Amino acid sequence: MVSFLEIIIYVTPIAVGTLMAVIGDRLGLAQIPSKKVKLKREAPVTKIKGIGTENAKELSKHKINTVDDLVKADKKKLAKVKGVDKKLVKKLVKFALKQMMED
C-alpha cells in the first residue's frame, strides 16, 4: 500500500516543475528569438555552438577552418581529431547544416 508521504514525495517535484513552467511562460522568460541565425559557409568554425578555440586549433591542423570545410569533411577523419568524437561530429555537422539552411 502506498502511503500519503510517498505520494507527496512523488507528486511534489512534478507540481513544482509545472508551476515554474507556467510562471515562466506568463512572465515571458522563454522567448523564442525573432530572427533566425543564418550561418555563412565561409564563417569560422568557432561560430558553431560547441566549437571553442581549442577544438578550432585541432580542426585547423586538418585543414578545417570554415563551416563549409566542416560540413564537407570526411566524418571518419573528423572523429580522429583530438577532442572530437563521432557523436560530437554528427551533432556539429547537423547543427551547421541546419543553421546554413535557415533564412
Residues 86 and 98: their CA atoms lie apart, in Å, by 18
Q: Nearest Cα to 71, choosing from 99, 32, 33?
A: 99
Q: Is the pTM of this model over 0.75?
A: no
pLDDT, tens digit (0-9, with 9 covering 90-100), for 28-39: 665 555 455 567
Residues 78 and 61: their CA atoms lie apart, in Å, by 11
At the topology level of CATH, where does 45-101 sit? DNA polymerase; domain 1 (1.10.150)
* CB environment 19-45: b (16+ within 10 A), e (fewer): eeeeeeeeeeeeeeeeeeeebeeebeb
Distance set, CA 14 to CA 8, 29, 68, 102 (Å): 10, 20, 44, 35
pLDDT, tens digit (0-9, with 9 covering 90-100), for 46-64: 887 778 888 888 889 888 8
Please give the average per-residue pLDDT across 68-91, as a whole number: 76
